[in-house]
Amino acid sequence: EVQLVESGGGLVQPGRSLRLSCAASGFIFDDYAMHWVRQAPGKGLEWVAGINWNSGKIGYADSVKGRFVISRDNAKNSLYLQINSPRAEDTALYYCAKGQQWHFDHWGQGALVTVSS
Amino acid sequence: EIVMTQSPATLSVSPGERVTLSCRASQSVFIDLAWYQQKPGQSPRLLIYGASTRATGIPARFSGSGSGTEFILTISSLQSEDFAVYYCQQYNNWPPLTFGGGTKVEIK
């Protein structure tokens, strides 16, 4: 059974940093692209960043480019999102999602990030 | 960036009715289109990919059609567990991958 478990969410002050982690199990992690998708309170889904199986292709939404960094450790079956210089508008539930081609066939339960002073 | 537009924003329907949801892309995405269902307090679930292929375990009452810029998600006979928000997503051209704004299917 595919499982994706996010951790590292919480309250962060504007301009500080936070790192989200996603522990994956139940599939061959380094066979698949992985993504972060977020959802602000009461809003729709927004793709944040994606990384292919060997980190050779990485992409970001314009809203986070230059501030967020996605990475993965295939030896640890883990995905990461480094959130730098967060803003109030980055407040959201952040989902880790397994890529199948470039859509998402499994999702974690999400990690809540609240940006506030 | 490819902009995805869903309509209507909200749909009020009765159980047993046939439901048709629309998704339009600002440029052709061929058939690189997925649909997701999200119930309150839950993570999204993949329903359809490749515009018309049902994901594993998805009931046959869900079907997808379309190509290019116009896509449809049909629920042939709405069940009580189908009341949710539905999102389309294009994956033809990235970055970025983009979602539509969602259609909420609510009880009439």
- Report the residue of chain A nearest B92, measured CA to CA: A102
d(CA A36, CA A21): 10
Given this model, what pLDDT does residue B26 score? 98
**pLDDT averaged over every residue in chain B:** 97
d(CA B96, CA B45): 20
Residue B25 to chain A, least CA–CA distance (Å): 16
Q: Give every strand in the sheet of A68-73, ordered side by side.
A: A3-7, A17-25, A78-84, A68-73
Mean pLDDT by 10 residues, chain A (117 residues): 97 95 97 98 98 96 97 98 97 97 95 97
Given this model, what pLDDT does residue A101 score? 77
List chain B residues with CB under 8 Å of A62.
1, 96
The beta strand positions in A2-117, using DSSP E, are: 3-7, 10-12, 17-25, 34-39, 45-51, 58-60, 68-73, 78-84, 92-100, 103-107, 111-115
d(CA A1, CA B38): 20
Within 10 angstroms of residue B51's Cβ, the number of other Cβ atoms is: 22
Q: Are strands B103-107 and B10-13 parallel, antiparallel or unpaired?
A: parallel
B48-82 per-position pLDDT tens digit: 999 999 999 999 999 999 999 999 999 999 999 99
Given this model, what pLDDT does residue A115 score? 97
pLDDT at B93 over 90: no
Question: What is the mean pLDDT of the segment spanning B8-33?
Answer: 97
Nearest to A92 by CA among A43, A22, A35, A19: A43
List chain A residues with CB under 8 Å of B45.
107
